[in-house]
Structure 1
Amino acid sequence: MPKIVFVRPEGEAREVEAAEGSSAMRAALTGGVEGITADCGGEASCATCHVFVDEQWLVQVGEPGLDEDDMLEFTACTRQPNSRLSCQIRMRDELDGLVLNLPESQ
């Protein structure tokens, strides 16, 4: 099972396991990660699972789709070039060790 490291704004890191094919958001909720609220339940319609993909993982994670790209305009924290919605990041073995930084607010 791939693992994800979620890093809070103050630097505290929490590692969780993610089932292959599930979303990074689902892994955060299951793993008790604070800072991911996921109000829409993973439908890419609320932007409350916003994360910043660590620079070393940008190529492997890929670019946001059109709907996700539009929704990223509504994040509580300023969108960055490495912003993604964690509900749209599907986990696979190649993403084992993925580092996602949490914004200060959702």
Structure 2
Amino acid sequence: MAKITYIEHDGTSHTIDCENGMTVMEGAIKNSIPGIDADCGGACACATCHVYVDGAWKDKTGSAEQMEEDMLDFAFDVRDGSRLSCQIKVSDEVDGLVVRLPEKQF
């Protein structure tokens, strides 16, 4: 089990407990975190679960693989640390992870 904190663009913070083996996206959907739409259900095919991961967590969350990099091309306001939350696995190593959500674009 790991605590994950999601910070909305306006600064609203949500901290939840996620089971190991889930993805950061699945934890958000299960707990109705606003700003994570996950239109593709976690198939790495839509970029609607885009988050920003602080560089201090990069070693523990891993790097984006090619498929994720390709999908991030469709995300708004991609930065260093941009990841798709459907590609970040929850484990004891990411206990305390904080992800920030980009501003929603409609």
Give the secondary-structure state (helix, strand or coil) at the position aligned to 1:74: coil
Inter-partner Cα distance in structure 2 for 1:45 and 1:2: 26
Distance (Å, rounded) in 1 between the aligned partners of 2:93 and 2:54: 15
Q: CA deviation at 1:55?
A: 2.8
TM-score calculated relative to the size of structure 1: 0.95
- Which residue does 1:58 correspond to in 2? 58
C-alpha root-mean-square deviation of aligned residues, in Å? 1.0
Partner of 2:82: 83
* Runs of 4+ with >2 A deviation: none
Question: Which residue number corresponds to residue 93 of structure 1?
Answer: 92
Q: Which residue number in structure 2 is paired with residue 74 of structure 1?
A: 74
Instruction: Name the count of aligned residue pairs.
Output: 105
Unaligned runs of 5+ in 2: none
Question: Which AA in structure 1 matches 2:5?
Answer: V
Q: TM-score, normalised by structure 2?
A: 0.95
Contact 1:4 1:18 in 2 (8 A): yes
What is the CA–CA distance in structure 2 between the aligned matches of 1:101 and 1:32, rounded to whole Å? Answer: 15
Query: The residue matched to 2:73 in structure 1 has which SS?
Result: helix
Could you tell me how far apart the structure 2 residues matched to 1:79 and 1:48 are? 12
CA distance in structure 2 between the aligned counterparts of 1:85 and 1:44, rounded to whole angstroms? 7
Unmatched tracts of structure 1, length 5 or more:
none
